[in-house]
Amino acid sequence: MALLFSLILAICTRPGFLASPSGVRLVGGLHRCEGRVEVRQNGQWGTVCDDGWDIKDVAVVCRELGCGAANGTPSGILYEPPAENEQKVFIQEVSCTGTEDTLAQCEQEEAYNCLHNEDAGALCENPEIPLSPVPENVRLADGPGRCKGRVEVKHQNRWYSVCQTGWSLRAAKVVCRQLGCGRAVRTQKRCKKLAQGQRSIWLSQMSCSGREATLQDCPSGPWGKSTCIHDEDTWVKCEDPFDLRLVGGDKLCSGRLEVLHKGVWGSVCDDNWGEKEDQVVCKQLGCGKSLSPSFKDRKSYGPGVGRIWLDDVRCLGEEQSLEQCQHRFWGYHDCTHQEDVAVICSG
């Protein structure tokens, strides 16, 4: 039996790795279950290149270390102190199914073209620390309108600031989406003195992918562990929500599409426009579903006049409103009014 176990171990373990939890570690994180990924070969610790690194690989690292669920794939360069120049990058193109017990059991290649600016990181739940309380709501405070301001989150009827540490434009995208605003345009720290918060600081180390529906879905550092000051309060600027209308038809739910920007109505170019974009417009206007009009039907509303505000609009179809879709900057286009979008909804 011992001989059989040795043979299995030899087959399932990559050369140079220890077949035990001590063959991998996380360095530089807030706790032992977060940090830059390092593996041991021949008694030496080296890093892992992030080429091909994904959440399934992190899940295996979390399991090997006896941590909780995999929560993210942060870059290893976020963690201090950084890897030393003489430390080697050992492996790259790691490909786990997510069911392995150790990283050594996953497919991987010996590193040959990676530097430390591509070091992989891992974020796992720490079973030794209770989960952070979940914020109940989010707002942008002390700004010129509800879509610009200092990020604050609500918990148990109290509002708290959010520290800039770990914050990114991806997190700002989530906030803008949650608030029903347009695209995230900018995020920054060091708010002007008048806009700095006076409340307690909720958390830091937000780790959003940008695809989450709400900020509550993003992993974050533990409650009460922030060392930030209000100079580091997070400020976010989102585009204002779009006002839409359909004109030129005999019903409110059909016609040429126009959007309002800076007090002026303008049309939308049909480059890349399709069924998903139609569905978002109909949903936003409360007009039911798109009737997938023909090219002839779309053109029956005639060309617009004046400004063409939007071009190259791309939606996934899941958005609640058009401002959540990708598009070029306002007024940038290569269209004429012969390419104006028209939409026909069932409502």
pLDDT one-digit tens code per residue, 314-330: 998 888 788 888 888 88
Percent of residues, the chain, with pLDDT higher than 70: 83
pLDDT recorded at residue 1: 44
* Mean pLDDT calculated for residue range 273-291: 91
Q: Are 205 and 30 contacting, i.e. CB atoms less than 8 angstroms apart?
A: yes
| Residue-averaged pLDDT of the chain | 81
In our burial notation (b when 16+ CB lie closer than 10 A, e otherwise), range 165-196 reads: bbbbebbbbbbbbbbebbbbeebeeebeeebb
pLDDT tier for residue 230 given thresholds of 50, 70 and 90 = low
Q: Is the pLDDT of residue 81 over 50?
A: yes
Residue 266: is its pLDDT beyond 60?
yes
Q: Which of 3-7, 202-206, 287-291 has the lowest mean pLDDT?
A: 3-7
Predicted confidence band at 198 (pLDDT cuts at 50, 70, 90)?
very low
At 85 the pLDDT is 85
Alpha carbon distance 211, 137 (integer Å): 18
Q: Is 187 helix (H, G, I), strand (E, B) or coil?
A: strand
More confident: 294 or 21: 294
**CA dist list (Å): 126 to 54, 204, 220, 285:** 19, 16, 12, 45
Higher pLDDT, 68 or 57: 57
Q: Is the pLDDT of residue 202 over 80?
A: no
Tens-place pLDDT, residues 90-99: 999 999 999 8
Report pLDDT for 229: 65
In angstroms, rounded to a whole number, what is the distance separating the alpha carbons of residues 90 and 164? 33
Mean pLDDT of 68-85: 87
Asked if residue 284 lies in contact with residue 247, where contact means CB atoms within 8 angstroms, the answer is: no
| Beta-bridge mates of residue 46 | 39
For residue 274, give Cα distances in angstroms to 97, 242, 320.
Answer: 36, 19, 16
As a whole-number percent, the residues of the chain with pLDDT over 90 amount to: 32
Question: Which pLDDT does position 220 carry in this prediction?
Answer: 72
Would you say residue 268 has pLDDT above 50? Answer: yes
First to last CA, the chain: 71
pLDDT at position 227 is 57
The answer, as to whether pTM is greater than 0.75, is no
Q: Report d(CA 213, CA 92) in Å as an integer.
A: 32
pLDDT at 3: 41
The C-alpha atoms of residue 138 and residue 167 are separated, in whole angstroms, by: 15
Structure tokens of 282?
């109909």
Beta strands in the chain (DSSP E): 24-28, 34-41, 44-48, 70-72, 89-95, 107-110, 121-124, 137-141, 148-155, 158-162, 184-188, 201-203, 235-238, 243-247, 254-261, 264-268, 308-310, 342-344
Summarised one tens digit per residue, pLDDT across range 108-161 is 999 888 999 999 999 998 776 544 444 568 899 888 888 899 888 887 677 888
Q: Give whichever of 25-34, 216-225, 306-315 has the largest mean pLDDT.
A: 306-315
* Size of the chain in residues: 347
Nearest to 221 by CA among 307, 179, 300, 163: 163
Mean pLDDT of 294-306: 88
